[in-house]
Amino acid sequence: MTQPPTPPANYAAPQPPLNPADEKLWATLTHVGGILFHWLAPLIAYLVLKDRGPFIHWHTRQALNFQLTILLAYIAGGVLLLVFVGFFVILAAAVLNIVFGILAAMAANRGEFYRYPIAIEFVR
């Protein structure tokens, strides 16, 4: 009678927590990635890094919620392009994305928790 193969020793093992410097780095990169790649970078960071420490979990969740809120603003602006006011909605969303993304990245780099002032909380 043969035994089933044993899985590798690290199979499904939880990842060790990040050290504080790495948490600050990845949190900063998550916010900068949100400016450059919108919702995709925070989503990937959230899925990969959320269990690696409370600081990185907080920042990836905040960045993802904000980028999803900005995505809704872009969609609303796209619909409102029919009446021309959508251009201003899209422009305002782009400016807010850059400004609040930079503020969040700076706070993360300093090791501070940051909450975006206009983010809808999609992910808890």
Return all residues near 47 (Cβ < 8 A) that are at least 6 apart: none
Q: Which two tokens stand for residue 71?
A: 């995505």
Q: What is the pTM of this model?
A: 0.85
Q: Is residue 93 in a domain?
A: yes
Q: Is residue 122 in a domain?
A: no
> When comparing pLDDT for 7 and 89, which is higher?
89
Q: Is residue 52 in a domain?
A: yes
Tens-place pLDDT, residues 106-122? 999 999 999 999 999 99
Q: Is residue 89 in a domain?
A: yes
Q: Is residue 123 in a domain?
A: no
> What is the number of structural domains in the chain?
1
- Rounded Cα distance between 19 and 14, Å, is 15
Domain boundaries, position 103 = 20-110
User: Average of pLDDT values for 46-73?
Assistant: 96
Give the Cβ contact number of residue 63 at 10 Å: 33
Residue 94 burial (C-beta neighbours within 10 Å; 0-12, 13-18, 19+): middle
> When comparing pLDDT for 85 and 12, which is higher?
85
Average pLDDT, rounded, for the chain: 92
Q: Is residue 10 in a domain?
A: no
